[in-house]
Chains A and B, each alone.
Chain A
Amino acid sequence: MSIENIYWLILLIPFIGFLINGILFSIFFKNYSKISGFVTVTSVFISFVLSIFSLINFNDKGVQLLDSFDWLMIGDVGIKTGFLIDPLTSMMLIVVTGVSLMIQIYSIGYMASDKGYSRYFSFMALFTFSMLGLVLSKNLIHLFIFWELVGVSSYLLIGFWFKKNSAVVAAKKAFLMTRVGDFGLMVGILFIFSKGQQYLDIPTLYKGVSSGEFQGSGLLIMCILLFLGAVGKSAQFPLHSWLPDAMEGPTPVSALLHSATMVTAGVFLIGRLFPLFESSSEIMVIIAIIGGFTAVFAATMGVVSDDIKRVLAYSTISQLGYMVLALGSGFYAAAFFHLFTHAWFKALLFLSAGSVSHATGTFNMKFMGGLRKHMPITYVLTLLGALSLIGIFPFSGFWSKDEILGHIYLQNSPISMVLFILASLGVFLTALYMTRVIMLTFHGSYKGGISSENSSNSKSEDNDHPTEPHESPGIMLFPMIILGFLSVVIGFLVNPLIDLGFVSKHAFSHFLEHNLFFDDPKEFHFVFEVAIISTILAILGIVSAILVFKGKLNIKNNFVYKILINKYYFDEFYENLIVKKFFYNKIGSLLSWIDENIVDKSNAKISDFTIYLSKKMSNVQNGHLQSYGFVFFMALTVLMIVFFISNLNTGDSWLDLINKLNSEIY
């Protein structure tokens, strides 16, 4: 089997899984068949194994450009299908298929009693397929197609429980808000196209950038447009507000959405077009500032939210902010190292949240508590994930986050100092909200789960006797344990400080930089003082969260809390001011005025005029032979007169004219 076929298989096998589930099972089993879970798991598993195989193969061959055949050729202009296999793609393949595989296994248990079981698995397979296509694309047009496919499948999955109104609203919101960014991306791609159609091919684009084809004032606009796409997909400020709402989907969907697919697509896009961004220093500063700001901004909202999944969603936005910050500061390898470790532990945290809600029936942390005794395995695993996210030595998040922090610290410029302070503040806040989640969920005493939430909402008397929460089934715990193991060790294992023998020093970073556009190998440092600073900040965050939980510090009911719980009023801003006031009232009324006064009225005028004309015309056709004869004769007379006048000066006698007329008629 040639190498090219492997990549085709990696891409297409999840798609086949989607077709089997989506077409066969939905027709023959009415969307519920136990087999469909195994179909998707198997297809993703095969892709995962092949991805590992391709990674091993990659080290022998280096960057590969596989052109298969022409697609959409119009004359000389056209698009070539193909795969661009560089270290970034190889890494993303592992992340996407690996995390997806774990989540699919988990879903078999989590979704077991859902009516849309087959539908769910078909969408999940489609989601995985789209993301794989995105990372494999060699051509910007293909990248865009798969980018949109990711958007569509996320829409389908967020709105999976389409009978629930909030899910439908959230799905629409996610779709439309990312669409704002997608539009930017599309215009950016067209911008690149306008510079020359060969630049749609990504390796050619790299060459064009290095030979200085992309310069001048257009470059900044082009980069901003492309970055807008990444902002939308990766939920950076100011297009962040769809992501917390996307929690309305099933929990494994959130896990997949937030760790390996969808949100990483934006970061991936920046990485894919990194040479282009890097050639403009202004856009790099913009990217870094937006990333750093988002990292803190989202974390502050995470501190006050009561919904466990929303806290995790804010933390995702915040961590994506770190990645964008790292990319904006030029640390390509550090950003993707963080993406890599983040995928595993964030998936773990979401699956733990799902496991908790499986036991208690709610996501509201106010009604949890004390679950440590009931679900010890979930507790330990959540703790591992949380410590990793906070960045405690030696968990994986520590290594990746400190790589970002250390590089910013070493950069030593005024902007990087600001960014460093932002990033450190983010570390503190991360520790704060994650400890809060752990404390509220697993410590203290159990507060009754879904039944007490219902009774507190409806104030009704028929209080179901609260059932004891129980540990999740093995099929859900198994992937969590694997992810937990990976969260602990993977950060150190793939990118160690020292030579481990089987893994060389900074292997992962060196591997990532071994691509088409980095010529000179860089030095990677581990900055010891930064590690100490961040650890102190993290511990400070943990301690203050414990203090708040124990009631020593009161943060509620002041001004800051109110702003935070209302998410800085961004939803109000977008929905009331922009959507209602601006779109509905101003643009909507303008459009309706145009519709009523110009479109409708011109229609009415045209039809009125036609009716008027036809009434006038019908008078001519009155059925009187006499008037027909009159018209006929008058027309003949007029024609004759015209004929004679036009021949008046030729000097012919009238008899000649009659002969001429005869010869003209016949």
Chain B
Amino acid sequence: MSPQRASSAGVQPLTTVGHPTPRIDAVERVTGKARYTNDVQLPGMLFARVLRSPHPHARITSIDVSNAHALPGVKAIVTHENGQVVWGSGSVAGGQQYSDEIKKITTHRRYTFNNPVRFVGEPVAAVAATDRHTAEEALHLIRVTYEVLPFVLEPEAALAADAPKIWPEGNLAVNNRNEPQPQVQRRGNVEEGFKASDHVFDARYSTAFVHNAQMEPRSAVAQWDGDRLTIYTPTGGIANCRTDMARDLGIPQEKVRVVCQYMGGNFGNKNQNQDADLIAAVLAKAAGAPVKLELSRKEDYIGMHGRWPTVQHYKIGVSNDGTLKAIQLRGFSGMGPYRKNSGAIAGTELYQCPNVESIVTPVFTNKTVSGNYRGPEFPQGFFGIQSMMDDVAAALKMDPTAFILKNMTRKFRDDTPYTNYSLEECLLRGMEMVRWKERWRPAGTDNGRLRRGLGVSFMAFRSGVGRSNAVARVNAKGDYTIHVGVTDVGAGAKTTMGVIAAEALRVPLSKVQVVWGDTETCPYSVGESGSRTTIMTGYAVIEAAKALMVQIAEQGLPAGDRVLTASSNPNPTVQGAVRNAFGAHFCEVEVEADTGRVRVTRYVTVHDCGRIINPLTASSQIVGGATQGIGMALHEDLVYDRRSGVPLTPGYYGARVMTHQDAVAIENVFIETDDGYGPYGAKSMGESSKVPAPAAVSNAVFNAIGVRVKDLPITRDKVLAALGGRA
């Protein structure tokens, strides 16, 4: 699985950037020296556990904590009665970074402890005790009486006139201006488009709730020193977590320190604070001692967030030659009872089309909360629309690659050019690798027990530039230090920053030390979300390095104990163009017609992520993202009992997360480009590999069996039902 690189014209080789570089913290990570949040031990530290709602919707009429308090070792108990803090970024942000302005206007407040509770797993109380077992035992001594309320689980059902109201205003999720409005995008006129079409197709697709499932179990450690709070927590954004904590607790930012040095995976919605951080802080204050709050895997599944499930109704108008005339999407996203993130459904922007109408409605439900997970609105939407288009191509008896090449985006929303355009090259290169022309056959050609299929999907994904900070220092010996507010969620950002700094400073990587993951020692960083760290903070590193080199040129290296310091705060923009990363995925499957088993037999990815800074970690990103996408396509689902509203499959076992045995060898080629933006032309990467994967798998299964499984995940029961329906 060694990475292949296919350099394009215009990418000049560099000295340190672009060479395979092992992670600078690899040894600490694999020898157990790396201190993850849950490794933090403080003198006198207490352990905390959370009591969670067993009901999907209920009013708490009383909480009696007296028996729990009486248990020896219990030091503090908080509930909605005595420990309620607004958790701003837990709701209402609707895809925006939480801010003072949003806090002012919101009517949908989410607290650390809410009454009524609105999903199974919502925190009701928390206990800090001298040890874990005492804390857990104390939870079972808390007596809560609930007035059980009616609940609703599915987004379309939640919009029915007689559906139980989760908020007084109704179940249509409000945006960050309190407006209960769907997200609408229009160009042209779809009704005219349908009239001008030779064929009009419509179909419904759906995707399931898929949990981020990062390896590291969640925990938070809070310590007060007078009015100063230190919080150790697995966050992808120490800077944003700090501002969130300060705002929610009503204390100045300078009084909050956030530390996150090592993480076992991010995968979304961690560029902020979490309720666990606030609960730990409130308990630590109440107990007068440091508190470590730990979540079990099950609590993480039901209590935090995962990818929002969607229902997508498409109507597509097309001419006889396969040219798109109109695209209409009516989408519904299940958000749980709080709007932790946007609930958007991406995909219509992938096609050239004069008439497009996308109306996506995020809906409150009494399931667990939906949030960002690696390409928040993309894998769902790309699955839906690219399955739909694949079906349209099949109905027109067209090769799907011909359909894509005819209709795929060439300019952003058909009017703004891209900074560079390599989508066609990605597709053609992948077609060559899988020998598409020779090997592709129309859907359902195989009739035997083993049915082979080949599927394709493609992606274009935002790769914008933007503000971040870095500080560069040098001492008398010529040792360089780079301070960046990244936390290294697992993608290798620390190494990436070191490599970029070494290149910019024209020194070997060994001369550069990276300081990261602590608001006390690092400047603001945009945070590791949205595939932005390399582009934005990496660019700030170059700017800081350049500024430092100017100082060195002017003054020489400092003498004695002196240190030269340069900082940067660039805020670059792209003018008159849209910056995207591009890619194409090709999936081959073998479906056993008698058992419904789907086996991915080959998986090929081709990506333009701009210049590759470190081929080793870049490949890992592609392999990891594609693997998650295959898991979303074939396996994972948080199944709910429809009668009780209780989630039945929380955790790695129940949700059928892929094991190493299930993982497929991902073949991966980079088409390197340099459009002049970002650090040495690097583009976004972290989400690129995930977003087209479910569509590629869906199209491969369709090609194999000749029937579309329209609802993810494509499990054995659905495959057998599809095949049975055809027989």
A pairs with B:
no
**Residues of A at under 8 Å CB distance from B?**
none
**Residues of B at under 8 Å CB distance from A?**
none
